[in-house]
Structure 1
Amino acid sequence: MTHIGFNKPYLTGKETEYITDAVASGKISGNGKYTQWCQQFFEQKYAFGKCLLTTSCTDALEMASILINIQPGDEVIMPSYTFVSTANAFVLRGAKIIFADSNTENPNVDASKLESLITPKTKAIVPVHYAGIACDMDMIMDLANKYNLYIIEDAAQAIDSFYIGRDGVRKALGSIGHLAAFSFHETKNIISGEGGMLVINDKQFASRAEIIWEKGTNRAAFFRGEIDKYGWVDVGSSFLPSEVIAAFLWAQIEQLNKIQEKRKIIWDQYYEGLKKATVKGRFKLPQIPNYATNNAHMFYLVFESLEKRDECISRLKNKGINAVFHYLSLHKSPYYNEKYLGDDLICSNQYSDRLLRLPFYYELSDADLKLIINVIKE
């Protein structure tokens, strides 16, 4: 029987060569040449502020929570339709999470509904760029300026994706908010197995971020020769990844354009192959707003009902094809259900029940794509 997995990590062929080089250098604990090369690449290519590699996107979000000084009782607004890390980073510091509903057009947060959720206790909004598609960042930044809030972009899925502002200027996702978090988990466009990055666009956080990154010490400044000794100067944790992870990521970065070109071809093949099938009304294809670009992170369908989605999963599985649903609304989760006192989030619930992600990876063949499309059409 055919077997088409949901995800397959793509290796460029240079990963082990660079890891061997990192090991041979004797500097494998982190913040060596590969770490610095990766960080400089992102700063220069996407006009990000200071970049710090982390062991995960979760860690980057936790650093952001520390940097904006989240205290018990502070409120943080975010979509309910997101991964648990988005919320956990702030819950760990004592924040109350205020969940917002998604758009009718796509799973991103409905920016038009955010203002009604803001209270004197609101400290931050965390927009999640689902599937690498931009949230309405002009509207969100307007709220930040009006109410003096921090914006932390959860850009876990959004590397190499852009927002086109109302001024016509194209900005990389992750370069707009005060802080941003990226993921290099093996399911992402470029990977390091596990791994992430914090982007610090607000300069007031830059020096403290490095201290938090280095377990609350000013060790990085010591190694640059800026101080004659280092010590414990702030809270922090072990957020800095090893040089082995950075070396792996560098091999991926070198092939970023090639990877992105292929992923966009796959995305377009899905779209073209399935768009005629939508006339039957069983499912909808991804909708990309005119202010967003597409980084081909994933391809998903939104079915008319839970039953139709589950039927499609079953039929694909019978053909050896692994398609999966995605997030369950966090406001309905066992952990938060009793804490949640807001409105029912209708769109978020619908995406939980109806969204289906199709297999998507660099080495997905034309024959496999054709099979997947044909099974869905049937």
Structure 2
Amino acid sequence: MKEISIPFNKSTQVGNEIAYIKEALLSNKLCGDNLFSKKCQKWFLEKGFKNPLMTPSCTAALEMTGILMGIEKGDEIIMPSYTFVSTANAFVLRGAKIVFVDIKASDMNIDENKIEAAITHKTRAIVVVHYGGVPCEMDKIKSISNQYNLFLIEDAAQALMSTYKNKMIGTFGDFACFSFHQTKNFTSAGEGGLITINNETFAKRAEIIREKGTNRTAFTRKEISKYSWIDIGSSYLPSDIQCAYLFAQLEKSEAIYEKRKSIWNKYYSGLKELANKNLINLAKTGDHINHNAHLFFIKLKDINQRNKLIEYLSNQDIEVVFHYLPLHNSEAGKRFGTFSGEDQNTTMESNRLIRLPLFYSLKDNQICKIIQKIKDFF
């Protein structure tokens, strides 16, 4: 099988990852909440995030929000269908029904103008997904959540270091969940996550749920003389080796951010000519939004043209991919959820979308090749 010369993704390694992993190994303290876990949590505190707790994945962080909110059978959770399955699974596991809302074609985020129509007396929460690191319209969404007394959760898996009106994504909702999977801007050796608790009411209980339902975290801070089982919970701590890798990346976060922005801007400048000719569509965002260049997508005329371009670029040794299949069209989505209103954009726009390679070590000549081959296709 021929190797792709330009892969879709490569994990980032920029600094002291190996050295910090070695340090963690030599410490003989490899479980969660040790040296590098604490270093990472301190970094997030200094960035303005409240009550940051490292988790094994964003999936685990989302599951914690379902427990913290006391989601039960019959509750309804509003979210976009264009997202990863973990966004829905976290609440289906608690017995909730998912109510999917259409997205906007411009940025693939939930349409804030269609949320209110999906609210019923059973609605407990709104979950927003900041697709590709592009923030949702948080002012309006937060206003709706306040008006109807609903929880607001930010699935910020792709959005670390993105801002909305100069405020960090992850600081708007009652809870925010981040991912450090290999495909993300910053990774903790392949898997990892974070939950932040902006609603102080839930801060102490989050620590307990994360530690198997015990008050062990308070015990390690020497606030109590022994710990015991006091609530439901699970094992939601990552190993210190994962956090050692992540901390090396957080130390270089500005460099990673600037490099990815540079790649994103080169793609945009190089492909704008095709967009001006209406051959492709590019993402559109407002001036009050600053994204983190998590991904770069283009949209083709339809699914057939999209698939032809994917095949063409593969033959040019360039790996590109489409993204999520809308959850409401899936077997489980039909069983556990319903679509509010009309699916005007979700299915159609997802069928048109292609993601281009975007990773820290992507070279200028590779970017130029990708742009040129897309132009050649047309």
Question: Normalising by the residue count of structure 2, what TM-score does the alignment of the two structures yield?
Answer: 0.96
Indicate whether 1:43 and 2:45 are aligned: yes
**Deviation, structure 1 residue 348:** 0.7
- Distance in 2 between residues matched to 1:330 and 1:124, nearest whole Å: 18
Please tell me whether the aligned partners of residues 19 and 244 of structure 1 are also in contact (alpha carbons under 8 angstroms). yes
Please tell me whether the aligned partners of residues 6 and 322 of structure 1 are also in contact (alpha carbons under 8 angstroms). yes
Please tell me whether the aligned partners of residues 103 and 347 of structure 1 are also in contact (alpha carbons under 8 angstroms). yes
**Deviation, structure 1 residue 278:** 1.3
**Deviation, structure 1 residue 337:** 2.4
- Tell me the equivalent position of 1:77: 78
Give the alignment of 1:3-152 within 5 angstroms: 3-45=5-47, 47-152=48-153
- Distance in 2 between residues matched to 1:286 and 1:7, nearest whole Å: 20
Aligned residue among 294, 301, 305 for 2:302: 305
- Tell me the equivalent position of 2:174: 178
Residues 1:377 and 1:213: Cα distance change in structure 2 (over 3 Å): same
**Deviation, structure 1 residue 244:** 0.6
Of 153-162 and 344-353, the range deviating more from structure 2: 344-353
Letter in 1 for 2:108: P
5+ residue gaps in structure 2?
A: none
**Deviation, structure 1 residue 161:** 0.4
Please tell me whether the aligned partners of residues 8 and 320 of structure 2 are also in contact (alpha carbons under 8 angstroms). yes
Letter in 2 for 1:139: K
**Deviation, structure 1 residue 340:** 4.6
What is the percentage of aligned positions where both structures have the same residue? 49
Please tell me whether the aligned partners of residues 100 and 338 of structure 2 are also in contact (alpha carbons under 8 angstroms). no
Three-state SS of the structure 2 residue aligned to 1:50 is coil
Three-state SS of the structure 1 residue aligned to 2:78 is strand
- Distance in 1 between residues matched to 2:279 and 2:311, nearest whole Å: 15
1:147-175 per-residue CA deviation (whole Å, 9 max, x = no partner) reads: 000000000000000001xxxxx210001
- Distance in 1 between residues matched to 2:274 and 2:299, nearest whole Å: 13
- Distance in 2 between residues matched to 1:90 and 1:302, nearest whole Å: 31
Three-state SS of the structure 2 residue aligned to 1:188 is coil
Residues 1:12 and 1:112: Cα distance change in structure 2 (over 3 Å): same
- Tell me the equivalent position of 1:269: 266
Please tell me whether the aligned partners of residues 15 and 249 of structure 2 are also in contact (alpha carbons under 8 angstroms). no
- Distance in 1 between residues matched to 2:359 and 2:105, nearest whole Å: 27
**Deviation, structure 1 residue 282:** 2.2
Give the alignment of 1:167-246 within 5 angstroms: 170-192=166-188, 193-246=190-243
- Distance in 2 between residues matched to 1:20 and 1:278, nearest whole Å: 48
- Distance in 1 between residues matched to 2:153 and 2:338, nearest whole Å: 24
**Deviation, structure 1 residue 195:** 0.2
- Distance in 2 between residues matched to 1:126 and 1:247, nearest whole Å: 30
**Deviation, structure 1 residue 225:** 0.7
Aligned residue among 277, 280, 288 for 2:277: 280
**Deviation, structure 1 residue 344:** 3.9
Letter in 2 for 1:153: E
- Distance in 2 between residues matched to 1:294 and 1:93, nearest whole Å: 32
Please tell me whether the aligned partners of residues 214 and 240 of structure 1 are also in contact (alpha carbons under 8 angstroms). yes
Aligned residue among 327, 331, 341 for 2:328: 331
Residues 1:362 and 1:65: Cα distance change in structure 2 (over 3 Å): same
Letter in 1 for 2:176: A
Residues 1:218 and 1:129: Cα distance change in structure 2 (over 3 Å): same
Indicate whether 1:358 and 2:356 are aligned: yes
**Deviation, structure 1 residue 35:** 0.5
**Deviation, structure 1 residue 377:** 0.8
**Deviation, structure 1 residue 254:** 0.6
- Distance in 1 between residues matched to 2:288 and 2:118, nearest whole Å: 24
**Deviation, structure 1 residue 311:** 1.2
- Tell me the equivalent position of 1:167: none
Moved >4 Å (runs of 4+): 338-341
Please tell me whether the aligned partners of residues 75 and 95 of structure 1 are also in contact (alpha carbons under 8 angstroms). yes
1:94-138 per-residue CA deviation (whole Å, 9 max, x = no partner) reads: 000000000131200000100000011100000000000010101
**Deviation, structure 1 residue 290:** 2.4
Residues 1:121 and 1:224: Cα distance change in structure 2 (over 3 Å): same
**Deviation, structure 1 residue 279:** 2.6
- Tell me the equivalent position of 1:255: 252
Three-state SS of the structure 2 residue aligned to 1:337 is helix
- Distance in 2 between residues matched to 1:341 and 1:297, nearest whole Å: 29
**Deviation, structure 1 residue 356:** 0.4
Please tell me whether the aligned partners of residues 136 and 291 of structure 1 are also in contact (alpha carbons under 8 angstroms). no
Structure 1 vs Structure 2 CA RMSD: 1.1
- Distance in 2 between residues matched to 1:67 and 1:88, nearest whole Å: 15
Residues 1:96 and 1:341: Cα distance change in structure 2 (over 3 Å): closer
Indicate whether 1:316 and 2:317 are aligned: no
Three-state SS of the structure 2 residue aligned to 1:85 is helix
Three-state SS of the structure 1 residue aligned to 2:249 is helix
5+ residue gaps in structure 1?
A: 165-169
